[in-house]
Amino acid sequence: MDDNTALVESMLDGSDDYLIGRNIFNQMFVDDHKKDQEIHPRSGDHASDYKQPFQGDWRYCFRKSILQEFYMYEDEVLSPKRIRINKLGWYIHVMLQRLIKQSGRAIEIEKTHIHPKFGIYYTPDAVMYLRELVGEEHVVVEFKSMNKSSYEKATEYHFNNALKAHPDAYKQLQIYLYLSGLKKGLIFLYCKDNSDFHYYVVDYDPLFMEPYIERIETRLKLKIIFESKNGLLPKKVCQDADVTRAKSCPVRELCFMKNYIERSPFLRKTSHGLQQNASLIHEDNHEQE
């Protein structure tokens, strides 16, 4: 229980009833999240995974990536708070995507593509027409919602620098531009607290992308090795199953099994379908159920 919740409960009569109510509503969020995972399970090789660090305990893990593509595993368990935050971000995406669609500027909204060479799934938030702003017909758009403090820090100190303002969005956008072959992108920051917004026009940067392209090409080589050499996996990143990173890893059990034979019962028997993310398409499908 956080300090604010404890303070509120100390000021209320019948605090047990208050906790019961919180649990009921939190369970609604958890159940909704489970339903989304069942309908649109995440599997395969996703572009967003490639933006992870190159150094440190949380660096990109080739082993995890291969395991997630070829084996069945339990999704990471998220706290109700994280689910609530993600859901709010989802609906902000839906709102902005609907605006683009209704404006007539949408070329595509949250359409999942598979790169023909690398087999990577990538799903830009939107691709839209913005010729009068950037001089290109097709512009990849990446939305990011932020709290007021983060938003003000980003836009005040890095008004014209997208990489410093939101490194995560910048990396993801560059990877999308590389995979799609498009040359212009736009990062759209949206403040959750006061609805202010700021945007950055971004050019594809081949120099910035060099280490990420090397990572993508290495991953393809490791996939080919896995398929041709009886499930041979890349080396582990985690020293053992009890380190912090391993404890939160969805493929932890698979990773620390002895060999391919022990993992074989968990091999996927069917190919993965296209994932739908937090999107206008996803929301429209909900409305039709």
CATH number for the domain running over 40-288: 3.90.320.10
Lowest model confidence (mean pLDDT) among 24-33, 40-49, 234-243, 250-259: 40-49
Burial of residue 127, with CB atoms counted within 10 A of its CB: 0-12 exposed, 13-18 middle, 19 or more buried = buried
Domain ranges of the chain: 3-32, 40-288
pLDDT per residue over 119-162, tens digit each?
999 999 999 999 888 877 899 999 999 999 999 999 999 999 99
Alpha-carbon span 61 to 42, nearest angstrom = 17
What pLDDT shows up at residue 288? 40
This prediction has a pTM of 0.86
pLDDT per residue over 235-275, tens digit each?
999 999 999 999 989 999 999 999 999 999 999 886 554 45
What pLDDT shows up at residue 252? 95
Asked if residue 41 has pLDDT above 50, the reply is yes
Alpha-carbon span 264 to 216, nearest angstrom = 26
What pLDDT shows up at residue 262? 95
Residue appearing with tokens 């359409």: 111
Asked if residue 7 has pLDDT above 90, the reply is no
